[in-house]
A and B are shown apart, each in its own frame.
Chain A
Amino acid sequence: MNRKIYIILILALAFVTKSCDKFIEEELVTDVSAASYYTTAAGLRDAVRATYSTFKPFYGQEMGAAMMTFGTDIWTNGADGGHKVFNFYDGGLNGSESYIPASWDNWYQGINQANGVINRSADVEMDDSEKTVLIAEVRFLRAFYYFNVVTTWGDAHLSLEETVGIEVEANRTSQSEIYNQAIVPDLEFAIANLPDEQSDYGRATKPAAEFLLAKALLTRSYTAFSEGSDASRAETLLGNVINNYGFSLLPNFADLWDINNQENSEMVFVIPNSKSQVDSGIDGFGHRWHLYFLHEYDVRRGMTRDIANGRPWKRHRPTDFMLTLWDRDVDSRYDDSFKHVWFANKDEPPTDAVGDEPARAALAIGDTAIYIPGPGKDVDWPQSRQDGVPYLVYSNDEYTERLFPSLNKWIDATRPDRQKTQGQRDFILMRLGDAYLLRAEARLQQTNTTGAADDINVIRMRSAVPGMEAASQITPGDVTLDFLLDERARELTGEGHRWWDLARTGKLVERTAMHNPGAAPNIQDYHTLRPIPQNQIDRTLGGYPQNPGYPQ
């Protein structure tokens, strides 16, 4: 008996005894590490894809909407949501406002990723021409992210090397140096090495790099450190974009917002969203801007929330000023950008008169339930006429933070359900229409109002109401910086350019104070730069300077 047990024990011990070091060896199975994966061609390609993904937490999300739309001359706050401090410019707009560190973190994470790709690519064995294009894409992206950093915060940290180990120091490099060391050389490299077109839709291309460099140079042309050639180079680069690659304006402005024709001839560079990835939840950063510009239709008579009308988060509401910009008899862009009619999607019994509310007839599904006549048309809708129809009519004097003309550009009726916040639309970063307006601005910078008027007229012609083509055109005498900004509002409203447009042209404080009553009492000159995140200041060894004007 005992012998048997001993034998079994010895056998068992022989089986289980292994080398200790082998036993505690760690093997990474589920994940991969940069040290092993980024040395391969596949790893480098994945690293490049990861560099693109930095766009997504900002553009198409509430962060981007709040930071680029609030606090401008054309948009003010609706009823709901936080982050209204970006509209009010009150003391709450400081380095602790959550979008300040969130956006800063995002761009610097992207920059470090780009630095990593560029630094590590030297050791990767792959086809040299493919590698060069990949590096050019990544340098384009790095320039993009640095451009966003300087246009948001001004002087900031500059690093062109991947962070190795733990880095608790940060530098404050002047904007001009960031242009000279990063943005401009990166884009020049990208222009030299990127192809005109890429088989993958959404990858950086040569025209995209030219567009971005033009915008960067144009931005620099307004600054104290501008170089004499900035505006003319910008004009040339935009000319290349307009002329060299076969881009063309869509015939109708409204066609731009056709969700079934997103990959069209006007798109220069977009953030593509894959419907299948967004709907399945793999991509949590689908395009959400369909939420933010809608008024509270869903609790009104005859209406309930549905997919086609959207999920109204009522974040952004047009300022009265913006609504005066379009001459709707000549220009179709208001009607192509805003929604006027909501059709009943539930039956409604007739109602009796209560207080100011008149009695209204019953509504059946499909009947008009809400009508917003919009700018210039209110005269047709005196109260007596409003009271006489079975549906609700909201005229200009009745707009509130909950009820207002709703931007329809991003509406996404293809979402799988009415609650889904992530949509499938591509986020447009550069389109040809913008290229014309930027070239007009570059020409205006060189006091070439004739050239500027030519570019503006191309845009205006496209959206002229049939028969009003001639009336839509302007003369060189009309072109001023303010006119140009008005034109950009007419064309690009709600597309995420406004705050940067105003900051670039030095018009942020003047125009916002004049036209945005929420911002007017507080906005000051220092608001053309955002505050440095408080956690950057707290975490950096030796501290980090705050931008002027904010609590130091």
Chain B
Amino acid sequence: MLFVLLSVLGATSIYASSASEDVNYSNDEVQSTVTGVVTDENGNPLPGASVVVKGTTTGAVADFDGNYSISVASEGVLVFSFVGYSASEVQVNGRTTINISLQPDASLLDEVVLVGYGTQKKGEVTGAIESVTAEQLSIVQVSSTIEAIKGQIAGVDVQATGGRPGQNPTVRIRGRRSISASNDPLYVVDGIPLIDGSNSMADINPDDIASMQVLKDAAATAVYGSRGANGVILVSTNRGRVGKTKVTYSSRYGVTSATRLVDMMNGEEFADLKRESRRIGWNGAIPADTEVFLDPIELESLSAGRSTDWQDLVLGDGWQTNHQIGVSGGSENTTFSTSIGYFKEQGIISNQDFERFSGRVNVDHKINDIFKVGASFLIAKTEQNWGSDATVQEALSNNPLGVPYDADGNLAFLPTNDGIRTNPLNELVEGAFIDERQQTRIFAPIYLDINIMEGLKWTTTFGPDIRIGRRGTFAGSLTNTNRGGPGRAGIINVNDFGYTLENLLTYNKALTPKQNLKVTLLQSIQKSRLEINTGNVTGIPYESQSFYNLGSATQGGVLTSGLTEWALASFMGRVNYDFDGKYLFQASIRADGSSRLAPGNQWNYFPGVSAGWRLAQEEFLAGTFVDELKLRASYGEVGNTSVLPYQTAGRLGSSVYAFGEAPALGFGLSEIPNEDLTWEVSKTLDIGVDYGFFNNRLVGSIDWFRTNTVDLLLERTLPTTSGYGIVLQNIGATRTQGLEFSVSYGIIDNDGDGFNWDMDLNISGYKEEITELALKDANGNPIDDTGNNWFIGSPINVFFDYEKQGIYQSSEEALATSAEQKVPGEIKLRDVDGDGVITPDDRRILGSDVPDYYGGWNNKFKYQGFDLGVFFVFRQGHMVQSNFHANNNALFGRYNNLDVDYWTIDNPTNAYPRPNENQESPRNGSTLRYFDGSFIKLRNISLGYTLPQSITEKLKMEKLRLSVSGQNLWFISDYETFDPEVGEDEGSLNSSVVPSNKMWSLSLNATF
């Protein structure tokens, strides 16, 4: 392939010099001034449309009424263009007035999309790439760009965990490939691959984003090699255009409240639970209340009929506001786009909030015909007040018979005499608990373009990415953390510097009028350096200092520091070829060398090939209802080294001991050195169709894919008799097969101000199965690895446990004893092998967290100035293992409990076991925590009104839109918690999760 590239480069240098002579020649021509009006297809002026003299850099911009004026040679050609409209070339032929009406871009498929190290017309793309427009991003009003794409793209699964302001959701493109290596997609902002995953996107203001492209198949992502294993999201930010300076302002304000509360027991219900938990045996007597309720407050509450609703006390209303001012424009040689944004969300818990100031300047400057430089400068400052995890936990767990305030109206620290359960309102006292996470981010890619000759361009990009983070924590004496002990404070400082340096050579050449060739060569290095240091102290003398005087603490603290570095070196080459715009072909190869692997395994090569056939361009479909029909097929390989640095070394763990009073710190074996650690490689075959019918009223795509991942990086648990419990290893293989479907349909399509109904629907599903594991039987066939819960033919993450069959009833006492050494009222497990006793062999696979299908459904209605959007997201058929229930459904009569139907001798239910004070969780309580996690959620409903132009003109505005919207107003799910969306890591859904919130908001968008 390299040979082809070189010969192409050599053969074409002749053309370049003649091209530059043309330019010189035209400058000597006789000039005249041409004026006119640029309008759209309906005759409305197109302010900001650009007019350029073909073959020169001379240009002009239409004013507010579409008028332009430009100097041009009488034999010259003018090129008129405007975003969303087809460019039009007009021969001047000596005329001085040229009025032109531009036609809307015939096909959306002709839009130019980012494809990684370059752009392509959408119609010519051969990989599975989906776009998200700025308009789509603005549907849902959230702090994070990532949150905004939820449900909008087939195959992209975005899941949030709870409603804490500033929380980052997890993003999975086409499911999960690896269980140990990272599954985060790669984000590429203005051409620079970000060092970090989703976290590094949090600083980017959604309003600054012009478009996003999601690269899903391996042929498309192979150009990013090892970093593209989990899909790539390309983000381009707003850039200026030549023309009148444009000012935009947008603003919104919304009020938030918990979407749903959970049904915990009230005082009377809890009292019954507690009485039952104290019953002597399962069928004995319940002791007198004076023996059950040892705390006088409980008895007092019972006789007074008093019950405290703790959720109600800690949850309030929050709000969200966002303001953004953008200014963009430019002259012929220099364009700019700048913006300032402010976002703040006050959580529904009073000490939780998130705030972001962001500023952006994008500048592009043409030095001359050869050189062009530019920069995208982002600076953002965010501050998240995390709040105390104990707030919700205590609100859920506190005894409803307890009281939040004492007789004098002061906050009671302990609502009952249970020393563990503190009053959640203590966490909310001003200054009592602080967890403040600040981050300053500077991300400033700069580039230099060199047009070496016609079609041959060199680009050097340098992208430094600096993140300075500081987390300060403070917990006063009267918090759950300290329970009356002395205050604690701590600081974590994070200093993260990464950079990317890339040299890119692209060559475009029309080999014949029908054959186009494009060659891209890349050399790239990337490096990250992360320093973390922390200090924690106890015994803060005066609490007002918060974490600002750690040295004054009475007890010295723990200091830690660490340095983590990694580097990646890469080379990539790509060839695109098309014949007649019908037959499309692309091939690429990338070589990556990663510092995270041991020498010898550091380098690997990742090829990708794809081809497309645009059937719609063929004669036999000309003039039919088919506007676009493209068959695509691709195959690519990508690698994953998203293992943490230094994992091959076999690091020692520090140990603590003392000899007398003297410290005796040591270093012990803690990791198996694994120098064999190598690349996890995913090989994806993708076959897709892009279609557009009926004048593109019905457009969409369908993709089928199959990914085989080999040398899977798995954190494998080991029999601990070896001295090690876990090792990261390349073992086994998985296969993921899926189908993605998306359609956009203009159901009712009236021109102008008539009634319009557009619908977008996307549905995706995939099956994941393990095909190979390290353990083999005598014949070399892979066998299940029960110790790791990995089973051939099942997804990586399955729930392997006993199955609850019911509750042992009073009549089953003998069976309960013989099968499980239990008594009536306890959980009855299914005896899978029917041998009459429950043994570990009775465990089976209960389900997995892989959904059957998921997606989004969006409806947009328009009539005159009004628009209405209704947007649902859904995820169906996956199982959830709920830690939330582990904490809140322990049924032991000490802490409050979910209001469930539990067994008593008088209530022979099969739902939940009998409460028992002698166990912190019922035996086999894990079997009560598996749920069908399916849900449908009304993500957004919004009503907008765009003022008629007659009014906006009077206001000297281009556009003004007002809207009201409601988010997360409703969902349906069998899984009863605050929110069925639990994020990928179901373990994070614990009792301290912050309830998700719904929001009603008003917003305004103005363009001047």
Chain A residues at the B interface, C-beta cutoff of 8 Å: 1-2, 5, 9, 16, 20-21, 23-35, 37-38, 43, 45-53, 55-56, 77, 79, 81-82, 84, 88, 90-92, 95, 101, 104-105, 108-109, 111-113, 115-116, 156-157, 159, 162-163, 165-170, 200-203, 263, 272-277, 279-285, 298-299, 305, 311, 355, 402, 416-420, 522, 533-541, 544, 551-552
Contacts and interface: CB of A to CB of B under 8 A. Distances in A.
B952 interface: no
Nearest to A544: B719
A163 B919 contact: no
Contacts of B419: 298-299, 305, 311
Nearest to B659: A200
A24 B720 contact: no
A233 B448 CA distance: 85
Contacts of B367: 1, 5
A209 B558 CA distance: 35
B903 to A, nearest CB: 17
Nearest to B822: A91
Nearest to A273: B658
Nearest to B786: A538
A535 B659 contact: no
B820 interface: yes
Contacts of B486: 416-417
A113 B668 contact: yes
Q: Which of A91, A101, A535 has the most CB of B within 10 A?
A: A91
Given A46-B667, A108-B722, A280-B557, A28 B649 contact: yes
Contact of B595 (A25, A159, A200): A25
B721 A108 contact: yes
Given A108-B722, A417-B486, A539-B719, A263 B660 contact: yes
21 contacts: A1-B368, A23-B595, A24-B602, A26-B566, A33-B651, A35-B673, A46-B666, A47-B667, A47-B668, A50-B657, A50-B668, A52-B666, A56-B657, A104-B720, A168-B775, A202-B657, A275-B661, A277-B663, A420-B485, A537-B840, A541-B775
A305 B821 contact: no
B837 A105 contact: no
A107 to B, nearest CB: 9
Given A16-B525, A23-B569, A170-B719, 19 more contacts: A1-B371, A23-B567, A24-B569, A25-B599, A32-B651, A32-B652, A46-B667, A47-B668, A50-B668, A77-B918, A90-B923, A91-B820, A113-B669, A168-B719, A203-B659, A285-B656, A416-B554, A416-B555, A522-B821
Given A25-B595, A275-B661, A2 B655 contact: no
B919 A274 contact: no
B666 A53 contact: yes
Contacts of B539: 416-417
Interface in B658-679: 658-669, 672-674
Given A21-B593, A81-B920, A30 B723 contact: no
Contact of A281 (B368, B536, B602, B666): B536
Contacts of A21: 593, 599, 602
B414 to A, nearest CB: 9
Interface in B783-821: 785-788, 820-821
Contact of A53 (B501, B648, B652, B668): B668
Contacts of B525: 16, 23
A69 B345 CA distance: 52
Contacts of B725: 105
Contacts of A419: 482-485
B837 A551 contact: yes
A277 B558 CA distance: 9
Contacts of A27: 565
A544 B719 CA distance: 10
Given A82-B920, A200-B664, A203-B659, A535 B717 contact: yes
Contact of B651 (A28, A45, A116): A28
B729 interface: yes
Interface in B408-450: 417, 419, 448
Contacts of A108: 720-723
Nearest to B373: A5
Nearest to B593: A24
A239 B501 CA distance: 75
Nearest to A159: B721
Nearest to B532: A30
A274 B658 contact: yes
B564 interface: yes
A544 B722 CA distance: 14
A283 B665 CA distance: 10
Interface residues of B, number: 99
Chain A residues touching B, majority SS: loop
Contacts of B661: 272, 274-276
A49 B652 contact: no
B460 A202 contact: no
Given A23-B567, A33-B652, A165 B717 contact: no
B596 interface: yes
B121 to A, nearest CB: 31
A355 B290 CA distance: 10
Q: Which of A5, A20, A165 has the most CB of B within 10 A?
A: A20
Interface in B633-665: 645-646, 648-653, 655-665
Contacts of B181: none
B563 interface: yes
A167 B722 contact: yes
A80 to B, nearest CB: 8
B94 interface: no
B673 A112 contact: no
A76 to B, nearest CB: 11
A274 B666 contact: no
Contacts of B557: 280-281
Given A166-B672, A420-B485, A31 B652 contact: yes
Contacts of B484: 305, 417-419
Nearest to B291: A400
Given A108-B720, A274-B661, A277-B656, A26 B595 contact: yes
Q: Which 10 A-B pairs have CB atoms at the shortest separation, nearest pair first? A: A112-B723, A539-B787, A49-B666, A50-B668, A91-B821, A274-B658, A201-B660, A50-B666, A200-B659, A419-B485
A220 to B, nearest CB: 22
B485 A417 contact: yes
A19 to B, nearest CB: 10
A202 B723 contact: no
Contact of A536 (B527, B646, B721, B837): B721
Contact of A101 (B448, B720, B821): B720
A282 B837 contact: no
Contacts of A20: 569, 593
A540 B665 contact: no
Contact of A163 (B538, B672, B820, B839): B672
Nearest to A164: B672
A301 to B, nearest CB: 11
Contact of A16 (B501, B554, B563): B501
Contacts of B918: 77, 84, 88
B564 A30 contact: yes
A34 B669 contact: yes
B78 interface: no
B538 A281 contact: yes
B482 A43 contact: no
A48 B564 contact: no
B12 to A, nearest CB: 21
B658 A538 contact: no
Contacts of A552: 839-840
Contacts of A167: 718-719, 721-722, 724
Interface string B283-295: 0000000100011
B280 interface: no
A305 B422 CA distance: 14
Nearest to B920: A82
B569 A29 contact: no
B846 interface: no
A337 B785 CA distance: 50
